[in-house]
Amino acid sequence: MSVIEVKDLYKRYGGIDALRGISLQVEPGQIYGLLGQNGAGKSTMVKILLGIVRITSGDAYLLGHPAGTTEVRKRVGYLPEDHSFPGYHTGESLLHFYGELYGMNRADRVKRIAESLDIVGLAKRGRSKIKTYSKGMKQRLGIAQSFFHDPEVIFLDEPTDGVDPVGRKEIRELLATLKDEGRTIFVNSHLLQEIELMCDRVAIMHKGEIVRTGTVAELTKTVERFSISLAPGTPFPAAEVKALGFNVESDDEETHIELKPGQSIDTVIDHLNAKGFRLRGVRESKQSLEDIFMELVEKAERGSTKRGVRVARAVSQTRRND
């Protein structure tokens, strides 16, 4: 059973289309990243799953239940974006309050709260009022409250917001641990690098639509690119290689070759060897998620009017195939 299943989800806020026919599926035990620009609809997506925002049309299921039911929220943790904790609580008392809402008994709370605060590095400040916390400390508390009650699914909306680099690394490690414990984690971010480092699978969102999904490896490997350098002073035989049907781009030091489907870089290397060129280096240059993202966004911007129709058609086709 999928942990999250969303089909053809639409959300309209007044005149704004925040989600325009989203479909996605998240399997258990993954760290799933939702990547998108500001205003893409990432937070809206998560809020619908938690029942904070109402669905305009479409279906959303969480752990097999329709999104937003009270019971299922017991098994879910959530770190909202721009959260503001009531300043009159201490870190510890806030977690006790939330724990009571989750129906945890006192012994459980005491144990789990101490552990969780320790994990996020707030053990020493647990008894201070939240209004005395720094921004990063509040974020750490936010993360603690998202997992201290042993949820099956954790939603994190911009989890590293306001956290220093060391803290970010700690958060990534924490997420890996939580994943190893068998939890499913859903992360929203506009920080490409974060997603790239944290997530198993990624969905890229743009203006209320999902434009691409896949594992980070798949997404970044969709285009194979190689950078080749020859012995100094030897010009690259670009024309010959192009004649073999390859895409060639050169700069001062290296030549970049983008493979089309069915092509192999071996063809180029064999050719160069046969012609007596002396190779100094061949490197597969992986495209970063950022490159992919930028590309997708640019593409989407260019064909923004047509694209809606195209995506819709693609979705309806896949459905018919089902």
**One of 59, 64, 101, 218 touching other proteins (CB under 8 A):** 101
Binding of ligand ATP at residue 54 (CB under 6 A)? Answer: no
* C-alpha angle 311-222-2 in degrees, rounded to nearest 5: 60
Choose between 140 and 207: whose C-beta lies nearer to ligand ATP.
207
Q: Which of 19, 24, 53, 205 binds other proteins (CB under 8 A)?
A: 53
Give the one entry of Mg ion, ligand ATP, other proteins, none that residue 86 binds, where binding means its C-beta sits below a cut-off of 5 to 8 angstroms depending on kind: other proteins
**Closest CB to Mg ion among 23 and 43?**
43
**Contact range with other proteins by CB under 8 A, out of 52-60, 209-217, 223-231, 302-310:** 52-60
Contacts of ligand ATP in 71-130 (CB under 6 A): 81
In the list 23, 145, 160, 189, the residue contacting other proteins (rule: CB under 8 A) is 145
| Residues 61-100 close enough to bind Mg ion by CB under 5 A | 81
Helix axes 135-147, 91-101, angle to 10 degrees: 30
Instruction: Indicate the residue among 126 and 159 with the shorter CB distance to ligand ATP.
Output: 159
Q: One symbol per residue from 70 to 99: x for binding other proteins (CB under 8 A), - otherwise; what is it?
A: xx-xx-x-x-xxxxxxxxxx---x---xx-
Q: Which residues contact 64 (CB under 8 A, 6 or more apart)?
A: 1
What CA–CA distance (Å, rounded) separates 122 from 90? 11
Whose CA is closest to 76, among 114, 102, 110? 102
DSSP letters for 50-82: HTSS--SEEEEEETTEETT-TTGGGGEEEE-TT
Phi, psi of 254 (to 5 degrees): -125, 165
Binder among 4, 18, 24, 122 for ligand ATP (CB under 6 A): 18
